[in-house]
Amino acid sequence: MLRKMLVLLAVSAAVVPASAQAKFFKFGMNEEEVKTVIKDYLLENPEIIKEAMDNYARRQEEAKKQAAVAKLKSHRAALERDANTPVIGNPDGDVTIVEFFDYNCGYCKLMFPKVLEYVQNDGNIRWVLKDLPSLGATSDLAARAGLAAEKQGKYFEMHQAMITHKGALTEADIVSYAKSAGLNMKKFEKDRKDKALDKILNANRTLAGQFEFYGIPDFIIGDFISQGAMMGDELDKSVAAIREKAAK
pLDDT surpasses 90 at 218: yes
The secondary structure element, H or E, covering residue 51 is: helix 47-80
Is the Cβ–Cβ distance between 235 and 222 less than 8 Å? no
Residue 20 has pLDDT above 50, yes or no: no
Chain segment 41-62, per-residue pLDDT in tens = 778 778 877 887 878 777 877 7
Residues forming a β-bridge with 79 = none
- The DSSP secondary structure of 96-111, one letter per residue, reads EEEEEE-TT-HHHHHH
The pLDDT of residue 33: 75
Of the ranges 43-52, 95-104, 110-119, 233-242, which one carries the lowest mean pLDDT score? 43-52
- Stronger pLDDT, 154 or 11, i.e. the higher one: 154
Residue 40: the pLDDT is 77
The reported pLDDT for the residue numbered 105 is 97
Is the bond preceding 217 in cis, omega lying within 30 degrees of 0? Answer: yes
Determine the Cα–Cα distance for residues 151 and 235; give it in Å rounded to an integer. Answer: 29
For the cut 80, the answer to whether the pLDDT of residue 86 exceeds it is: yes
pLDDT bin (cut points 50, 70, 90) of residue 18 is low
Find all residues with CB under 8 Å of 248, minimum gap 6, and list them: none
Q: Domain residues of the chain, as ranges?
A: 2-45, 72-247
Q: Which residue has the higher pLDDT, 64 or 17?
A: 64
Q: How do strand 87-89 and strand 218-221 relate by DSSP bridges?
A: unpaired
- The CATH homologous superfamily for domain 72-247 is Glutaredoxin (3.40.30.10)
